[in-house]
Structure 1
């Protein structure tokens, strides 16, 4: 039933009830015949005037309701940009504003879903490439060995070494994917962790890069406070973050470059750790996405260097797991400075 019909029906029922009541009064001689006629005429006249008033007043209400209905129909048809003009009575203006907010939220949510689907497709494509590349290399070298085409012992050993290195590369990629999925599953930050000593973590981490640094003629320099610096992060997690940042710095630093690891104490017991290299630097447009999974500023160079584009994503998840932030900036001169924050652990006396 339409709103107009509903109101007219309600008005008609009210008029009929009043007339019946007047007839009852006339029957019991509470009113005269002349009074009955005048009262019935007045009642019918008032009813007609009320019906006309209802008709005039209901039209803008119907228009407001129709606009909202048309907007809902457009959204249901897939037009998430549909909006309703906020005019008319206060309540209908509020309804239109709420409807428009709903439309904006739906459009934003749909854009997020599309972005997530696009990122998922890119993720799958990159995973397929990074898994296929070492597998194809291993297959080709294994087939060459199987066919017995190699007679030179040195060449034979080189093929075996290549297969082994590609196996390690594939294993590291799978381990990174596993760790990334494990970190995604953690909803809360670590609590009650054993603080890590930054100096101890670096001493344990340095031997892993000594050969690479020596081969590239690079130097690793460290600037830490003179006292032991303890931070609220598990030692293995702090080590993983620094390892990923150092791997990135070593990979992109030039021959004979200097890599700096520094710790700065900020306000509110916050420590900022940074890794600075002397590489080519990162374009400002790439800095916003550098921590995205599988994102590479130079895809061909990254693949040649063995990077899968997961190290910085893992570092970001680990840092945020402990309530810190991570970023990259351009220092004075050439290079990049990757930094992250973590809370300092208070020493209990």
Structure 2
């Protein structure tokens, strides 16, 4: 559920829940304040105060009926006392006068004298009259049987109802405020906790990243906007971790590169220096010895030149500053020419070069012929260093399938240990622990092969077993499969 939806639901809940709770509380308060008013049980289905008013009106109507049709009954003190008891239970009172004199007054009236405000005959229902005595009153004039004038005063004490109503209103207002405050407080707490908790987790992760700890993953396990933020944060952490790790690897590679260059340059320089010292100190005292030392200097210089050349080439390839000049190449024809070139190379004396043409169908690729030649020669040079058998063999193969052209160069040399295979394409890597460069290797040949092949959109790999020879393969995109058979 998204945060937007959660907030919308919380807003709706902040309206609905207080309304429902307020309705329940109002019902409870109404039953509490009005249900048992004046010590009487209310009738089922009717509020008590309405029952009270109705009963009081009925008693007043009965007394009025008696005054109209049986006025002499109003002189019966027992009957009036009984009626007064009934009126008292509903907040009413009665005063009966005869010729202006009080004949009967309810016990709730303080004196037998007719109150002054009743004599003034002002509006009997005014708030002014109610404030004076706590009663409102109504009158009814009648005539006794002896023709004397009588008057009834019906008094209604509404103060308990008004007081109860005030308390009830105050209780309702306070209840509403408490309900709204509690509802908003609880919902705000729940929603804010749901939002703040992942934010605290992100803050903690940010502090750890600031301190350099990038190994702890950020896992919010949410499907909302904060979950998306957490995923983005986790992706940032992973990228930073990989970037720093790659930077450290680059730094390590740089140190290794400097060490390797120093080592591989120092060996021929040491040889050259030794030869020069031999000539200077007169050790080479014959023409034959001088020629020997000069040839050694030339060989060491060539090794240095080749190392520097391969290092320069590798660095340009690594920085993507060595341009490729692609063109359509029939790889079948190209490999035939390369095989013939190898057979004419003096270094291949005693090495059998085999190239099996399995078909005559052209195999076309987009390639830089010069760099492709460098790839093949580097692989061949690597094989030459490890050909240790009498019948030395290098086999060339080309096959097309699955959208790629696979070129394979295999030999019957010493092979490569299984654990060393994943590293042979690393710069300056040599399988021999001593890093002896007497065999003429720079340690960059196969690394250059990988860079050039990947620059062509292919990949390179090796298959080998110790003592059984080595197969180095690389793939190039088949132009016919990529662009269609019309190419």
What is the TM-score of this pair, normalised by structure 1? Answer: 0.77
Partner residue in 2 for 1:261:
395
Partner residue in 2 for 1:79:
213
Partner residue in 2 for 1:45:
178
Which of 337, 348, 368 is residue 200 of structure 1 equivalent to? 337
Q: What are the superposed Cα offsets for residues 227-274 of structure 1, whole Å, 9 maximum, x if unpaired?
A: 385543233222211111111111101142332322232225643222
Q: Per-residue deviation at 1:333? A: 7.2
Q: Which runs of 5+ in 1 are unaligned?
A: 1-33
Residues 161-200 of structure 1 mapped to structure 2, 5 A cutoff: 161-186=295-320, 190=324, 192-195=326-329, 197-200=334-337
Taking a change above 3 Å as real, the CA distance of residues 237 and 348 of structure 1, as seen in their structure-2 partners, is: farther
SS of 2:437 mapped into structure 1: helix
Partner residue in 1 for 2:54:
none
| 2:427 and 2:447 in contact (8 A); partners too | yes
Partner residue in 2 for 1:111:
245
Q: Which runs of 5+ in 2 are unaligned?
A: 1-165
Partner residue in 2 for 1:15:
none
1:222 and 1:301 map into 2 onto residues whose CA distance is 33
Partner residue in 2 for 1:296:
430
Partner residue in 2 for 1:30:
none
Partner residue in 1 for 2:82:
none
1:267 and 1:85 map into 2 onto residues whose CA distance is 44
Taking a change above 3 Å as real, the CA distance of residues 84 and 176 of structure 1, as seen in their structure-2 partners, is: closer
Residues 1-349 of structure 1 mapped to structure 2, 5 A cutoff: 41=174, 44-54=177-187, 56-57=189-190, 58-84=192-218, 86=220, 90-186=224-320, 190=324, 192-195=326-329, 197-208=334-345, 210=346, 212-214=347-349, 217-225=350-358, 227=360, 231-232=364-365, 233-268=367-402, 270-300=404-434, 302-330=436-464, 334-343=468-477
SS of 2:434 mapped into structure 1: helix
SS of 2:284 mapped into structure 1: coil
| 1:189 and 1:322 in contact (8 A); partners too | no
Taking a change above 3 Å as real, the CA distance of residues 266 and 205 of structure 1, as seen in their structure-2 partners, is: same
Taking a change above 3 Å as real, the CA distance of residues 176 and 299 of structure 1, as seen in their structure-2 partners, is: farther
Deviates more, 1:156-165 or 1:103-112: 103-112
Deviates more, 1:128-137 or 1:35-44: 35-44
Q: Per-residue deviation at 1:291? A: 0.8
What is the TM-score of this pair, normalised by structure 2? Answer: 0.57
2:458 and 2:465 map into 1 onto residues whose CA distance is 21
Larger helix percent:
1
Taking a change above 3 Å as real, the CA distance of residues 343 and 44 of structure 1, as seen in their structure-2 partners, is: closer
CA RMSD of aligned residues (A): 3.4
2:219 and 2:472 map into 1 onto residues whose CA distance is 49
Q: Which has the higher contact order (CA 8 A, sep 6+)?
A: 1
1:275 and 1:246 map into 2 onto residues whose CA distance is 8
Larger strand percent:
2
